[in-house]
Amino acid sequence: MKILKRLIILVLFSTTYFGGFAQSFPSNIQQKLQAVLDARFAQSTEYKAGISAAILVDGVGYWEGTSGKSSMDINTSTLTSDTLFLIYSTTKTFTAALILDLVAENKISLSDKVSKWPLFASFSNINPEISIEQLLNHSSGIGDYVTNLIFQYMVISNPAKEWQPLEMLYYTGMPVFEPGKGQEYSSSNYIILGLIAEQVTDSAFYQLLRKRYFEPLGLNQTFFLPQEKLNGNLANPHDKKLVLGQNSEEVVDLTKYLDLTGLMSVTWSTGGIVSVPRDVVKWTNALYQGKATSAQAHKLLMQSSLTDKDYGYGVYKKNHVRWGAIGHNGGAVGYRSSMTYIPDEKISISVIVNQGILCIDEQSIDAIAREMYLAVSSNPLASVSQQIESSLNCNIYPNPAEDFVLINFNNQVNADLLKVTAINVAGVRFALHATSNGNNQWEVEVASLSAGYYILELTDNNHIDYKPLMKK
Alpha helices in 46-113 (DSSP H): 92-104
223-224 β-sheet, strand order: 85-86, 273-275, 223-224
Please tell me the CATH code under which domain 85-379 is placed: 3.40.710.10
Q: Is the dihedral of CA 282, 283, 288, 293 positive or negative?
A: positive
Phi-psi region for residue 6, left (φ > 0), alpha (ψ -120 to 50) or beta? alpha
Instruction: Please answer whether residues 93 and 314 qualify as being in contact, where contact means their C-beta atoms are separated by less than 8 angstroms.
Output: yes
Q: Tell me the Cα Rg of the chain.
A: 24
- Annotate 256-283 with DSSP letters as a single string: GTS-SHHHHHS-GGGT-EEE-HHHHHHH
Ranges of residues in the chain with a pLDDT under 70 are: 1-23, 44, 378-393, 411-416, 425-427, 453, 461-462
Q: Among residues 337, 344, 329, which one has the least CA distance to residue 377?
A: 344
Which pLDDT value is given to residue 6?
A: 36
Written as one letter, the residue type at 176 is V
Determine the distance from the C-alpha atom of residue 93 to the mean position of all C-alpha atoms in its chain, rounded to a whole number: 9
Rounded CA-CA distance 72/255 in Å is 11
Contact (Cβ atoms closer than 8 angstroms) between residue 37 and residue 51: yes
For residues 172 and 148, is the Cβ–Cβ distance under 8 A?
yes
- CA–CA separation, 396 vs 399, rounded Å? 7
Distance CA 171, CA 169 (A): 5
pLDDT at 11: 33
**How far is the C-alpha of 336 from the C-alpha of 330, rounded, in Å?**
6
d(CA 352, CA 323): 22
Residue 421, beta-bridge partner list? 431, 457
Provide the pLDDT for residue 454. Answer: 79
Contact 99, 153 (CB under 8 A): no
> Quick one: which H or E segment has residue 467?
strand 464-471
Contacts of 81 (CB under 8 A, 6+ apart): 52, 54, 64, 65, 66, 276, 277, 278
Instruction: Delimit the domains of the chain by residue range.
Output: 85-379, 394-471
Contact 55, 62 (CB under 8 A): yes
Please name the residue ranges forming H helices in 88-185. Answer: 92-104, 132-136, 149-157, 165-169
Q: Give the class (CATH, top level) of 394-471.
A: mainly beta
Going by C-alpha positions, the residue among 288, 306, 331 that lies closest to residue 400 is: 306
Q: What distance separates the 2 farthest-apart alpha carbons in the chain?
A: 74
Would you say the CATH fold of 394-471 matches that of 85-379? no
Instruction: Using alpha carbons, select from 388, 440, 417, 377 the residue that is nearest to residue 9.
Output: 377
Cα–Cα distance between 279 and 274 in angstroms, integer?
A: 10
pLDDT at 281 (0 to 100): 97
Report the alpha-carbon distance of residue 64 to residue 349 in Å, rounded: 10
Burial class (CB in 10 A: 0-12, 13-18, 19+), 347: buried
CA distance 292 to 380: 30
Rounded to 10°, the helix 2-13/27-43 angle is: 100
What pLDDT sits at residue 335?
Answer: 95
Tally helices (H) and strands (E) across the chain.
12, 19
Q: With left for phi above 0 and alpha for psi between -120 and 50, is residue 438 left, alpha or beta?
A: left
